[in-house]
Amino acid sequence: MSQLVFLDSGPLGLITHPQRSAEVLAVTEWLSQWLLNGNRVIVPAIGRLDEFINAISDRYLPLSDEALRLAAELWAKSRRQGQPTADPKALDIDVIIAAQALSFGPVLSDITVATTNPKHLSQFLTAKNWNEIVS
């Protein structure tokens, strides 16, 4: 059975980085193996990169009104609980990615966000460092 992973901006930025550092090569190899094993990748709207999406992703997930409303709810909830995911003056990308994943549709337990910093996202859904996700 295939697994589903959402790419957060950290791994997505590494995968598309023009300099081929050891970390860039490692995340690229991880993603290649993930796909070769028959798993799926979703690229959320805030990380949209046309060539990359066309090459590897089976789905580009547009940012919907539903996801934006949910992002606002997650943003407020995290702040009420004293666990903000971004500076008060910053655009809170983590809650937007979490909202897109939560509003995606399939069973939530089947969705993992591949990230370089799971601390903020794990308040809302399963988020792991990309190198901890195996198929």
50 to each of 40, 44, 46, 57, how far by Cα in Å?
17, 12, 12, 10
With bands split at pLDDT 50, 70 and 90, how would you rate the model's confidence at 51? low
Q: Contact 122/74 with Cβ under 8 angstroms?
A: no
- Give 2-24 pLDDT, tens digit per residue: 788 989 888 988 988 888 899 99
- In CATH, 4-132 is 3.40.50.1010: yes
Average pLDDT over residues 60-89: 83
Of 45 and 116, the structure prediction assigns the larger pLDDT to 116
Chain-wide mean pLDDT for the chain? Answer: 83
pLDDT at 116: 93
pTM value is: 0.74
Sequence spans of domains, the chain: 4-132
